[in-house]
Structure 1
């Protein structure tokens, strides 16, 4: 017998207790409060009620407040005129169940039936299909997580026990004031007809609410529908992220300047301002077989290419896609290659340079210019390079990580290498041209 009871308790925990704790305590899959700002969402459960909901709508109209109602489908069918008024006066209508029953005590099929009937009732009256849902008592079962594909679950950050008449309006108002924080979602009840509620409780709620609203407005709070509040908070987050991203981009550019100064990175004067920079150094990797059959070996000198990140910011921000970025960059590389050939031909210090070398995630079409494109050898360097370049693209692009989302398999850093021999064949520089260019640059 004890074993059976233990199994039943365990099954109940898995079916309802643990899922309910996940949404109530940790907010998994639900919206229950905002991130700040003097914004309040008033929400009302269990209506519409023929006596109290009309009084509540009058109160909200007096103060010009939009709110959110989570209605029972059965009550909506009995009082369609109140649902029509809610809709007409600009309130958001979400749903409770069709009847005020706990999801923990129903099968998934019965829960779905309850929601479907509520949705149908509201849509039949208003012509709008509800998208927001609050389970009665904030209790769910494990299968309700599947409903997240269809509904946005809304809970609360402030609950004051207004379903009870005990303590009257003073208890409700004092609890509202003591618990109020920026971004609050408040749950109140405009019906006293459900299990455990006192029938006259909404009368005390209405008295307390009017005083609370008056004082909150005087303190600079704004009352919004849940959906409007959520949209404003998303915009505020995006603005905040944009501010931090601008700081990050600024610091990134400054670190570039320091790197360029310390390691002798110079501009290639093919454009004003230049898009590419370079430095000459020893190649430290393994042997690379290039497209022209030559071999780049460890210790050979290479011209290492770098992007001018200020120009890259402009290019990426003005482009609709990474494909468009790649096309424009290919054109810029084609324009810069003759200047690279001139630099190598003019400066005797670069007479031993064997190849032009770079690492980039934007390498589409490089083979058409004679570059050999190959994967970085697997290891810590490849991993760190991938992280660095993705962080760089995230920092320089206004949409940051959004532009990277879904492109993880495309944005893979590659080695791009062009032998100097192949470069000179494509862009031969005569001695006479050398002297002329030198005189122009001096």
Structure 2
């Protein structure tokens, strides 16, 4: 049965990074909310193991954001499968869990990708926080608030070049959404509480779960 409470899922791309991801985790801890981190496989290693373990300890979820930042929509099924699988294996090794969701680099998709990758694809309400010094914390928070709705997946980045005020944007966004009656859940929990099978939309990406 679907949950009657307003829900949203914070998600973060392009990490992990020992300094920048930690800044995001600190804000999440302060506000007592969970998130889902889409990890880049080549960054998942012994050097970042501690921050990945902290995500898991806090109750956050980790997911697959391919091996590197290369778009996959113009490469072969073999390359897609290789990069996806290497990332799954790295996450399993260093996080101790199986990633259940995939987000394509640059949100670029193809039919080949949908056929080669066996996980549900997720996009999200964009904070446009890859725009560097062109956007402030307030800008980023307002972009998300403009697209928010019950069941929204929110797409932000824990890792981008400095200046990168997304942690500051969270200090604006999280209290405002709580004031509006939203609860923050992981991606898996969002589907569970909405009573929706994440595998039910093959060939497209989830932005809202309803």
**Which residue matches 2:16?**
48
Q: Does structure 1 residue 161 correspond to structure 2 residue 128?
A: yes
Q: Does structure 1 residue 151 correspond to structure 2 residue 113?
A: no
Question: Which secondary structure state, in structure 2, belongs to the residue aligned with residue 45 of structure 1?
Answer: strand
CA separation in 2, counterparts of 1:49 and 1:131? 21
8 Å contact kept, 2:103–2:123: yes
* TM-score of the aligned structures, taking structure 1 as reference length: 0.42
State how 1:415-430 maps to structure 2 within 5 Å.
Answer: none
8 Å contact kept, 1:53–1:190: yes
CA separation in 2, counterparts of 1:210 and 1:128? 29
What is the CA distance between 1:37 and its match in structure 2? 4.7
What is the CA distance between 1:180 and its match in structure 2? 1.7
Q: Does structure 1 residue 67 correspond to structure 2 residue 35?
A: yes
RMSD value, Cα: 1.9
CA separation in 2, counterparts of 1:42 and 1:131? 16
8 Å contact kept, 2:138–2:172: no
Higher helix share: 1
CA separation in 2, counterparts of 1:55 and 1:189? 12
Q: Which runs of 5+ in 2 are unaligned?
A: 197-210
**Equivalent pairs, count:** 193
What is the CA distance between 1:224 and its match in structure 2? 0.4
Q: Does structure 1 residue 200 correspond to structure 2 residue 162?
A: yes
Q: Does structure 1 residue 82 correspond to structure 2 residue 51?
A: yes
Question: Which secondary structure state, in structure 2, belongs to the residue aligned with residue 191 of structure 1?
Answer: coil
CA distance 1:35–1:166, change in 2 (3 Å): farther
CA distance 1:48–1:177, change in 2 (3 Å): same
What is the CA distance between 1:178 and its match in structure 2? 2.0
Compare CA radii of gyration and give the structure with the larger one: 1
CA distance 1:213–1:66, change in 2 (3 Å): same
CA separation in 2, counterparts of 1:206 and 1:110? 34
8 Å contact kept, 1:36–1:183: no
CA distance 1:139–1:40, change in 2 (3 Å): same
Question: Which secondary structure state, in structure 2, belongs to the residue aligned with residue 176 of structure 1?
Answer: helix
Q: Which runs of 5+ in 1 are unaligned?
A: 1-33, 193-198, 236-442
State how 1:106-125 maps to structure 2 within 5 Å.
Answer: 106-125=75-94
CA separation in 2, counterparts of 1:58 and 1:66? 11
8 Å contact kept, 1:46–1:189: yes
Aligned with 1:176 (options 113, 129, 144): 144
What is the CA distance between 1:160 and its match in structure 2? 2.2
8 Å contact kept, 2:103–2:122: yes
CA distance 1:154–1:167, change in 2 (3 Å): closer
Aligned with 1:214 (options 167, 175, 194): 175
* TM-score of the aligned structures, taking structure 2 as reference length: 0.85
**Superposed CA offset, 1:313-354 (max 9, x none):** xxxxxxxxxxxxxxxxxxxxxxxxxxxxxxxxxxxxxxxxxx
CA separation in 2, counterparts of 1:98 and 1:41? 23
Q: Does structure 1 residue 231 correspond to structure 2 residue 199?
A: no
CA distance 1:227–1:105, change in 2 (3 Å): same
Aligned with 1:92 (options 61, 66, 88): 61
State how 1:218-367 maps to structure 2 within 5 Å.
Answer: 218-234=179-195
What is the CA distance between 1:177 and its match in structure 2? 2.1
8 Å contact kept, 2:127–2:156: yes
What is the CA distance between 1:89 and its match in structure 2? 1.2
